[in-house]
Amino acid sequence: MNNINFTAPTGDTKRIENVELIPTGMQICTLYSMIDFGHQETNFGLKPQIKLAFEFPDHMRIFYEGNEAKPASVFEKEMLSMNAKSNLRKKFIQPMINRIMTDDEAAVYNISQLLGKHYVATISHSPDGKWANIQSICPLDEKNMLMFGLTSPNIPIINKLQFFHLSQGFHSAEFGFLPRKIREGLMTSSEGQKHKLSGGTFAEPPKTDNSSSNAMAGAPPQGSAVPNGLIMIDQAVTYDAYIKAGWNDQQLIDHGKAKRNAP
C-alpha cells in the first residue's frame, strides 16, 4: 500500500487576517470603481445606492495567501442622491472637485467623469481598529503633490477601472466584467429582481481564453483597432466603457490602456 499523503486542493484561497491598515493622515488615492448599485433595502426602505472604491498605490498589501500584493482600498457605499445634504455630494463630489455646487449644477453633474482621477484622502481608523475610513478628500493638485515629493500628477492606476450604470443592462459585457460580489449584489437589487422576474438574463464573466472570450464579452479581440485610430491594450474594459466613464483617448494612452495605430 502506498504511504504517500494524496490530497486534493479545495479551491479556496485563505484570506490573511489582520492585514495592516492604510496609515492615518493624508494619503494619495485614485477613484477606480463606480457602480450604480440599484435600489437596495435599507433601514429607510428601498433606496438607490452607489458604490465607490479608492485605491491607495503607496500601500501595497497581500490579502490572500499566494497572491500578489495589491493596493489597499477603501470602499464607500452611499445613497445615490445629489441633494445638498447628501453624503455623496457633501462628503465626496464637492470636495473632489474642490467647490460648492448649486442645486441646478448638481442635478446635471456627470459624476462618472471623476473615475480614474487622483485625490488626497485623510484617513482615520475605526474605534475597533479594523477599518480605514476616508474622513475627508480633495483633488491631487500642484500644491499638495509637493507633500508627497511628486513632480507630476500622473500616477499609475493599478486596479482595473470598474464602471457600471444600470442603463447598460444586466446582459451587457460591462456587467459581466464586474467582480462576483458586485454582480450578486446587483442581482438582489430591486432592478435586478424585476429583470429576473421578467425572464431577463445576466451576463457571465468572460472566459479567460484569448479571442473567443473577448468575442463573447463583446470586447474587441486583443490588439484590435477601435474608433479614432487606437488599439486597445487593456482588454478588461471596453473602449466604450472607458469613454462612458469620462476618459478621453489621450488618457487611455497616458495610462497604458491603448496606443496609437501607427500608419
pLDDT, residue 212, reads 36
79 touches 88 (CB < 8 A): yes
Model confidence over 209-258: pLDDT tens digits?
443 333 333 334 444 456 667 887 765 566 776 665 556 787 777 666 77
pLDDT, residue 87, reads 96
46 touches 39 (CB < 8 A): yes
| Nearby residues of 203 by Cβ (< 8 Å), 6 or more positions away | 170, 171, 172, 173, 175, 176, 217
pLDDT, residue 10, reads 62
- Label residues 169-204 b or e (16+ Cβ within 10 Å = b): ebebbbbbbbeeebbebbbebebbeebeeeeeebbe
pLDDT, residue 16, reads 86
- Report CA dihedral (215, 218, 224, 229) to the nearest 10 degrees: 160
Question: Whose grid coordinates read 474608433?
Answer: 227
Regions of the chain where pLDDT drops below 50: 209-224, 263
Model confidence over 20-44: pLDDT tens digits?
999 999 999 999 999 999 999 999 8
Task: Tell me the C-alpha distance between 35 and 88, whole Å.
Answer: 13
Sheet with 225-226, edge to edge strand ranges: 225-226, 230-232, 258-260
pLDDT, residue 209, reads 46
Task: Tell me the C-alpha distance between 61 and 20, whole Å.
Answer: 8
Which residues make beta-bridge pairs with 34? 52, 163
Task: Tell me the C-alpha distance between 183 and 178, whole Å.
Answer: 6
pLDDT, residue 235, reads 57
